[in-house]
Amino acid sequence: MSAITTKKIRLGFIGGGSRSMIGVAHKRAAQISGEFVLSGGVFSAEYAESLRYAQVEELDPAYIYSDVAQLISGELAKPESQRIELVSVLTPNALHFGAVSELLKAGFHIVCEKPITTTLEEAESLAQLMASSDQAFAVAHTYTGYPMVRQLRQMIQAGVIGQIQKIDAQYYQGWVNEVLHDEERRQSVWRLKPALAGPSCCFGDIGVHAFNLVEFTTGLRIQQVLAETDTFNSGNSLDVDGTALFKTECGVRGLIRASQIATGEENNLSIAIYGRLGALKWSHENPSQLIFLPSNAPRQILTPGHPYLAELATASSTLPPGHPEGLFDALGNIYFAVAQKISGRQYDPAAFPGIDEGVRGISFIDAVLRSNNQMQQWVKLK
Amino acid sequence: MSAITTKKIRLGFIGGGSRSMIGVAHKRAAQISGEFVLSGGVFSAEYAESLRYAQVEELDPAYIYSDVAQLISGELAKPESQRIELVSVLTPNALHFGAVSELLKAGFHIVCEKPITTTLEEAESLAQLMASSDQAFAVAHTYTGYPMVRQLRQMIQAGVIGQIQKIDAQYYQGWVNEVLHDEERRQSVWRLKPALAGPSCCFGDIGVHAFNLVEFTTGLRIQQVLAETDTFNSGNSLDVDGTALFKTECGVRGLIRASQIATGEENNLSIAIYGRLGALKWSHENPSQLIFLPSNAPRQILTPGHPYLAELATASSTLPPGHPEGLFDALGNIYFAVAQKISGRQYDPAAFPGIDEGVRGISFIDAVLRSNNQMQQWVKLK
Amino acid sequence: MSAITTKKIRLGFIGGGSRSMIGVAHKRAAQISGEFVLSGGVFSAEYAESLRYAQVEELDPAYIYSDVAQLISGELAKPESQRIELVSVLTPNALHFGAVSELLKAGFHIVCEKPITTTLEEAESLAQLMASSDQAFAVAHTYTGYPMVRQLRQMIQAGVIGQIQKIDAQYYQGWVNEVLHDEERRQSVWRLKPALAGPSCCFGDIGVHAFNLVEFTTGLRIQQVLAETDTFNSGNSLDVDGTALFKTECGVRGLIRASQIATGEENNLSIAIYGRLGALKWSHENPSQLIFLPSNAPRQILTPGHPYLAELATASSTLPPGHPEGLFDALGNIYFAVAQKISGRQYDPAAFPGIDEGVRGISFIDAVLRSNNQMQQWVKLK
Amino acid sequence: MSAITTKKIRLGFIGGGSRSMIGVAHKRAAQISGEFVLSGGVFSAEYAESLRYAQVEELDPAYIYSDVAQLISGELAKPESQRIELVSVLTPNALHFGAVSELLKAGFHIVCEKPITTTLEEAESLAQLMASSDQAFAVAHTYTGYPMVRQLRQMIQAGVIGQIQKIDAQYYQGWVNEVLHDEERRQSVWRLKPALAGPSCCFGDIGVHAFNLVEFTTGLRIQQVLAETDTFNSGNSLDVDGTALFKTECGVRGLIRASQIATGEENNLSIAIYGRLGALKWSHENPSQLIFLPSNAPRQILTPGHPYLAELATASSTLPPGHPEGLFDALGNIYFAVAQKISGRQYDPAAFPGIDEGVRGISFIDAVLRSNNQMQQWVKLK
């Protein structure tokens, strides 16, 4: 297999090899964007496994590495036109910081799974690296890639529901339930292990998405939280459930509810934002619908592909109304915007969540854990 | 108009006259039950207005009174067979206690709107009156009259979802929003006035329904709460929004969310109960559906009128499947059970909420307010 | 029990005794309207059974009769102020005509279950009786009593969806399925017996409701149909399923689909009306929602109790938004309008379906059967 | 750009260039399958435009051709390992036959948009070519690629709803409405022009999908139809609306409703299949839900990703439950199965619709038009 010259951007993965769901999602999203070609990376902690995966994917072994350091030196040794430019970091949480910080220093663009680090110090250290850089850095808050979430944000900005009065966000899943009650399976899930997941399971994995959705859609910054979390089972050390009351800088109240023991729930991320003039509601259970509740008029259901949508929402779907697109397509929208940034094209700053959103997420997780540790007192986000 | 002899139970109202929505609901519910005939009462603070309403309703003026004391003496003076037996107390909250305590002492059966009193002391005083009595006392927790809410309770009792892990109840409305932002209208709504409503608006009016729904369906008793409430607008003194985290006696966690400034929400009372083996969800937005989410099987939607329902749920609807019944019919189910109690027939203790449920509600409101006043600390229900 | 003088209108039933679902519905609806008092009638073919039912309902035996002729002579013998004025005819179809024609001639007002007769000749004969009369005659097309069905009609009249292009109405139920496959139960259901039901089961029982809904909401008159019906099972002689394509007088096309072997369907009456500028959809599965699909704007969901509704829709519900009313309340709206007519008050002509609607229904059933018998040719409604 | 050796299958397009929605869908679906690489083709009737598109897509110009004949000779001249193997024919309908027949004769595998031809003779001619061939031939009945449609089929095969009693399929769209009422736009839409679309617009474009869905899910073959179609507007010559009653070989009745003037409908393809023991319902408005209505038990909602699904449905989604996939992913499932066939791997015959399904579709369209022309008589499918 000889090298090809492509105007597509070469993409590498850290993690995301064959058995990884998240790897499949990122690979397909990058393809969907039409802007990237997956060239190689460190798919697995074991080099042999990475090579095997590369073979399946028909990748040039010259792009396959045993670790991040090797990838950096190997790629920098190549002519610029043949180099991996964007690296997607898809490992368990605890490995994000080391990989990302080295890759950033070496000049690579980054897509990083959330949470971007396991401590606030690490997150701020990444922010400092980014402060003087114009590299692309995106956090995989995939839900912000849905057209109707983007429309929600735009309608709030446009004042459609007036001043915000109350925010209620939920992320309920049930899949941890069966694991939690089965000691053997509990040992096999990295998200329940502090060494790999960091200090939080539920808020690190899903609560942080709900937090991001609140700040992304409203443009408000959460200033303080009062949170209770629960490990539920004595044999388990990380949170699998919890609620965080919050106040924003301008005094708007709200709450974020997260659970991984909500048996029977599939992936129920929902948000409701109540304003002076109306409300907007979105749920991942039907991501193509945005519900608008005006104070004094019939409810409306907005859907993708219509001329009545704002610009970014319009650009975020491909097919005519009634032809559903899904989670891969939403993440594809984020990859597309990252490509716009990398290639110096204009892009909407709302089109991918960046380092600030990454740090905010860690700051939120940190505050939630502190509040819970302090007997559910109000604490400020650092 | 001459007196008639009826085997139906004579019913009187305190409040609930012509301009009262709640009066319409109770009148229709009593009719629907087929067990009562509305005979008279004190429909209004003004006697002339009560008489006028009586005329419209074609009631015998001999059953119309200017106040509760008059009603008591007037009725007791009649032969037993012609006496009002059940009195529905439908006034603003602050007037409940006086009326109910006098009526109870005089031997009347009672249906009382919630919250039954404005202080816990008063509520306990009513409980004491009831302790040695076999009078009927029902609180108008109408939602417990829906067949699918009764089915939910039964399925939890039957162990269908196993041990309960998490409870999330919500009662969101938007109607206070417009009132709150209009100083003039704010003055006209008794629910916002401490002298009539008591110490709470949002939790007294709707949060207490969500609380009752939690205890009714799960059979668990909430032991402590951590609550934040909000008056929202500086010109307003009572809560119009709030969240209460709770723990039950056996350690189950959950939360109750209530808001009257959830603009655009109509009457969105919902509950989700997550157990070891599955979940049950019900929402007043579609009260004829009970959603069952088994851990490892497809979701199910249960509806009224089917042979697969439990006994009380079956008895709680009249028509075949697919013929919707509504709120009047739900309240009618409660009146029917009150009639069973009064007339000495067998009845399911779940078929109407009684004095214990009434006191529990006040105890909850009291704890919510205490917790909020103590900077959102955990407090125990008294 | 002595006679009372009441401004309420005395109501009598033909049929509708204790074991009758339809009797329960009419009794409760009449109560809900606040305008009627059920006084007596011929509840059952057996006088003793009628008396027994009267006792349960605490009715004066002076109002209980063994047949229609007796009722007529008995009531006419009473002073006008104590006479039954409205008679609801709730028997199996084949008995409607005899009862209704005698009652009309004797001056009674009528509510008649659909189909009003079993032949078109009979229906036209009733129409002739009504032609020179100002008695009230209502057909129990209960679904026209729902606020959102009334709103639908008004929006079409107001031109909200422009010129109508296409109409699709459905009434699917599953309850006959189990009966049909069980020879014994098949013998016990009068709707499947020509002698009682007349020439049609499915179109006579439910197809005619869908037909009425089409004409009621659109104001168009169906001129011709092409219909196929099916008895399904060789041991069964009446239709239990069928489809009728239709054209209206002004050339609008549409179809009416009806089935009683749609296993698992509860009572799924739905209509979609597509116009030049938008569509309106309503389904009995959620009767409180009217869906408006504008051609170039987001979908809207209209619900009862809001200021944005038209006059008749507003008058057709009692409670604030989000407090569901049901089928009893819808039929109650029809009884209320009948009372307005009887007592000489102003009423909206759309507020109850009358003799013309009754005849139209029979004309439709007749045409459906003729078309099917003629190998599914187009036939005109007579 | 030098040639690469790949185990992926080279894919070519006839049509589907830059401005083509259908081209985007097929390109993305082929990518998603992970089995194909788009190499070239005849993207446009104009060679220059094809070259321009190739440049955007970074395709080797050696794979870009000015017409089908050139493509065939050019590709056959290449070594086998570098040849396009699968050609997707994405042109307007009238061009399918010429392209497909030549390509089949030359040994290429085919994915063809529906309807596969504009006459039944042509379709049968393609079937003859395929009769003695083991080339792959797939029709783009995309909806059969949805996991829940495949699950529906499997459940019927497994007898879950027993013997089928009634089938009702609908495909309603509104997009043609605005075009039809605007003479200028009407001239610009090829689907409304007989020379390009063939003899049918509505049934050729969407009715045929509903037909395929009926035969795919039930395994029954429709034998005769009675159909009415409508061109609606005097300035328009092809059908834009219609209904086809049908009977299957074994006598099951049903109907297919199709409309492109159903204003406000997005892409509402739905099917309901009623059996002796229950029903199954699926709608493209929520393609991740399969509704099962057992005769005597609560409704169930089946969703992708669960262990309770059958094998092919399980293989047809990638992500865990609650992570929606869409239309691209459904078409990707079809491409994946085509690749299995091409590369000699085992595949489920239900995993892509083949030549038989293609011919059946044309046969249905032909019968619908004949029936309508014969004044809506019953006609047999040829």
Given phi > 0 = left and psi -120 to 50 = alpha, else beta, which region is D278? left
In chain D, positions 281-300, which contact chain B (CB-CB < 8 Å)? Answer: 292, 296-300
A49-63, B142-156, C93-107, D265-279, range with the lowest pLDDT? A49-63
A290-294 and D378-380 beta bridge pairing: unpaired
Rounded to 5 degrees, φ, ψ at C113 are -65, 155
Predicted local distance difference test score (pLDDT) of residue A252: 98
The pLDDT of residue B87 is above 70:
yes
* Interface touch A165/B261, C-beta < 8 Å: yes
The amino acid sitting at D347 is Y
Report the SS3 class of residue B180: helix
Q: D201 CB contacts (<8 Å, ≥6 apart)?
A: D176, D191, D192, D238, D239, D240, D260
Predicted local distance difference test score (pLDDT) of residue D6: 60
Span B309-313, mean pLDDT?
97
DSSP class per residue in C11-35:
EEEES--TT-HHHHHHHHHHHHHTS
CA atoms within 13 A on the CB side of A82: 13
DSSP class per residue in D281-317:
EEETTSTT-EEEEETTS-EEEE-TT-TTS-HHHHHT-
The answer to the question of residue C52 being in a domain is no
Rounded to 5 degrees, φ, ψ at B209 are -65, -45
Report the SS3 class of residue A61: helix
The amino acid sitting at A105 is K
Domain boundary among A87, A118, A142: A142
Nearest to C178 among D263, D295, D375 (CB): D295
* Interface touch A228/B241, C-beta < 8 Å: no
Same domain, A112 and A158: no
Q: What 8-state DSSP symbol labels residue A113?
A: P
ipTM of the assembly?
0.95
Same domain, B131 and B155: no
Same domain, D229 and D359: yes
The answer to the question of residue A347 being in a domain is no
Q: What is the residue-averaged pLDDT of chain B?
A: 96
* Interface touch B4/C4, C-beta < 8 Å: yes
CA atoms within 13 A on the CB side of D59: 27
Same domain, D115 and D172: no
The answer to the question of residue A159 being in a domain is yes
C-alpha C359, offset from chain centre: 12
The amino acid sitting at C80 is E
Question: What are the DSSP E strand ranges found in C114-195?
Answer: 137-139, 164-172
B193-202, B240-249, C176-185, D2-11, range with the lowest pLDDT? D2-11
Residue indicated by tokens 């200033």: A223
Same domain, A13 and A108: yes
Query: Which residues lie across from B280 on neighbouring strands?
Result: B273, B292
The pLDDT of residue D283 is above 60:
yes
Given pLDDT bands bounded at 50, 70 and 90, which one contains residue D1? Answer: very low
Chain A residues with CB-CB distance to D7 below 8 A: 58
Chains that touch D (3 or more CB pairs under 8 A): A, B, C
Q: A45 CB contacts (<8 Å, ≥6 apart)?
A: none
* Interface touch C279/D262, C-beta < 8 Å: yes
Given pLDDT bands bounded at 50, 70 and 90, which one contains residue D175? Answer: very high
Same domain, A198 and A246: yes
- H or E segment to which residue D364 belongs: helix D355-373
Same domain, B28 and B73: yes
Q: Is the dihedral of CA D336, D337, D339, D345 positive or negative?
A: positive
Predicted local distance difference test score (pLDDT) of residue D233: 83
D276 touches chain C (CB under 8 A): yes
Q: How many angstroms away from the CA of B349 is the closest CA of chain D?
A: 26
Predicted local distance difference test score (pLDDT) of residue A181: 93
DSSP class per residue in A151-205:
HHHHHHHTTTT-SEEEEEEEEE--HHHHHHT-HHHHHH-GGG-HHHH-S-SHIII
A322 touches chain C (CB under 8 A): no
* Interface touch A308/C302, C-beta < 8 Å: no
Residue indicated by tokens 């109501």: C11
Rounded to 5 degrees, φ, ψ at C87 are -120, 130
Predicted local distance difference test score (pLDDT) of residue C19: 75
Q: What percent of chain A has pLDDT over 90?
A: 94
Q: Which CATH number do you get for residue B284?
A: 3.30.360.10
The pLDDT of residue A238 is above 50:
yes
Span D304-316, mean pLDDT?
97
The pLDDT of residue D355 is above 80:
yes
Q: How many CB atoms lie within 10 A of CB D97?
A: 21
Count how many domains chain B has.
2
Given pLDDT bands bounded at 50, 70 and 90, which one contains residue A6? Answer: low
Does residue D92 have a cis bond before it (omega within 30 degrees)? no
The crossing angle, in degrees rounded to 10, of helices D120-131 and D355-373 is: 160
D215 touches chain A (CB under 8 A): no
Same domain, A300 and A151: yes
A115-129, B173-187, C159-173, range with the lowest pLDDT? B173-187
For A161-203, how does the pLDDT look when each residue is reduced to its tens digit (9 = 90+)? Answer: 999 999 999 999 999 999 999 999 999 999 999 999 999 999 9
Can you tell me the distance from the alpha carbon of D371 to that of C377, in angstroms, rounded to the nearest whole number? 12
Can you tell me the distance from the alpha carbon of C100 to that of C89, in angstroms, rounded to the nearest whole number? 7
Domain boundary among B108, B142, B176: B142
Same domain, A185 and A299: yes
Domain boundary among A142, A177, A193: A142
Residue indicated by tokens 């004769």: D105
Same domain, A167 and A301: yes
The pLDDT of residue B152 is above 90:
yes
Nearest to A58 among D8, D285, D323 (CB): D8
Predicted local distance difference test score (pLDDT) of residue D4: 44
Calculate ∠ Cα B268-B274-B275, nearest 5°.
150
Query: Which residues lie across from B342 on neighbouring strands?
Result: none
* Interface touch A1/D1, C-beta < 8 Å: no
The pLDDT of residue B245 is above 80:
yes
Can you tell me the distance from the alpha carbon of C232 to that of D166, in angstroms, rounded to the nearest whole number? 10
Span C26-46, mean pLDDT?
95
B63 touches chain A (CB under 8 A): no
Residue (of D308, B166, B258) closest to A176 by Cα position: B166
Chain D residues with CB-CB distance to A268 below 8 A: 322
Can you tell me the distance from the alpha carbon of B124 to that of B117, in angstroms, rounded to the nearest whole number? 9
Residue indicated by tokens 């009174």: B65
Q: How many CB atoms lie within 10 A of CB C77?
A: 8
Q: How many angstroms away from the CA of B162 is the closest CA of chain A?
A: 11
The answer to the question of residue B191 being in a domain is yes
Q: D160 CB contacts (<8 Å, ≥6 apart)?
A: D275, D277, D278, D280, D292
Given pLDDT bands bounded at 50, 70 and 90, which one contains residue C6? Answer: low
Question: What are the DSSP E strand ranges found in A209-356?
Answer: 222-230, 241-248, 253-259, 268-275, 278-283, 290-294, 299-302
For A320-376, how does the pLDDT look when each residue is reduced to its tens digit (9 = 90+)? Answer: 999 999 999 999 999 999 999 999 999 999 999 999 999 999 999 999 999 999 999
User: What range does the domain containing D209 cover?
Assistant: 146-317+354-373
B234-238, C354-358, D24-28, D358-362, range with the lowest pLDDT? B234-238
Q: How many angstroms away from the CA of C214 is the closest CA of chain B?
A: 20
The answer to the question of residue C300 being in a domain is yes
Q: B287 CB contacts (<8 Å, ≥6 apart)?
A: B146, B148, B149, B326, B327, B330, C324
The pLDDT of residue D112 is above 70:
yes
For C57-74, how does the pLDDT look when each residue is reduced to its tens digit (9 = 90+)? Answer: 889 999 999 999 999 999
D86-89 and B9-14 beta bridge pairing: unpaired
- H or E segment to which residue D88 belongs: strand D86-89
Q: What is the residue-averaged pLDDT of chain A?
A: 96
The amino acid sitting at B242 is G
Predicted local distance difference test score (pLDDT) of residue C228: 98
Q: A228 CB contacts (<8 Å, ≥6 apart)?
A: A242, A243, A371, A372, A376, B226, B245, B253
Which chain C residue shows the shortest CA-CA distance from A301? C299
In chain B, positions 170-189, which contact chain A (CB-CB < 8 Å)? Answer: 172, 174, 177-178, 181
Q: Which CATH number do you get for residue D54?
A: 3.40.50.720
Q: What is the residue-averaged pLDDT of chain C?
A: 96
> 3-state SS string over A306-339?
CCCCCHHHHHCCCCCCCCCCCHHHHHHHHHHHHH
Chain B residues with CB-CB distance to D297 below 8 A: 308
Q: How many angstroms separate the Cα of A289 from the Cα of each of B48, B143, B314?
A: 54, 29, 35
Which chain A residue shows the shortest CA-CA distance from D25? A319
Can you tell me the distance from the alpha carbon of A183 to that of A168, in angstroms, rounded to the nearest whole number? 34
Can you tell me the distance from the alpha carbon of A20 to that of A90, in angstroms, rounded to the nearest whole number? 9
The pLDDT of residue D147 is above 90:
yes
The amino acid sitting at B46 is E
CA atoms within 13 A on the CB side of A381: 19
A349 touches chain D (CB under 8 A): no
Same domain, D196 and D276: yes
Can you tell me the distance from the alpha carbon of D27 to that of B84, in angstroms, rounded to the nearest whole number? 78
Which chain A residue shows the shortest CA-CA distance from C307? A296
Q: B283 CB contacts (<8 Å, ≥6 apart)?
A: B268, B269, B270, B271, B289
Q: What percent of chain D has pLDDT over 70?
A: 98
Residue (of D316, D354, D361) closest to D134 by Cα position: D354
Chain D residues with CB-CB distance to C378 below 8 A: 375-376
Length of chain D: 382
In chain B, positions 82-121, which contact chain A (CB-CB < 8 Å)? Answer: none
For A25-65, how does the pLDDT look when each residue is reduced to its tens digit (9 = 90+)? Answer: 999 999 999 999 999 999 999 999 999 999 988 899 999 99
Same domain, B78 and B175: no
- H or E segment to which residue B10 belongs: strand B9-14
Q: How many angstroms away from the CA of B202 is the closest CA of chain C?
A: 17
Beginning with the edge strand found earlier in the chain, give each strand of the sheet holding C36-42 in spatial order.
C36-42, C9-14, C86-89, C109-112, C137-139
> Per the structure block, which two tokens stand in for A306?
């219509």
- H or E segment to which residue A129 belongs: helix A120-131
Q: How many angstroms away from the CA of D148 is the closest CA of chain C?
A: 19
Task: State pTM to two decimals.
Answer: 0.97
Does residue B115 have a cis bond before it (omega within 30 degrees)? yes
The answer to the question of residue A334 being in a domain is no
B253-259 and B164-172 beta bridge pairing: parallel
The answer to whether the CB of C129 falls within 8 A of the CB of C104 is: yes
Given phi > 0 = left and psi -120 to 50 = alpha, else beta, which region is D206? alpha
Q: How many angstroms away from the CA of D57 is the closest CA of chain A?
A: 9
Q: What percent of chain C has pLDDT over 70?
A: 98
The residue of A288, A300, A303, A314 whose CB has the most chain C CBs within 10 angstroms, and thus the best one to mutate to test that interface, is A300
Can you tell me the distance from the alpha carbon of D47 to that of D103, in angstroms, rounded to the nearest whole number? 19
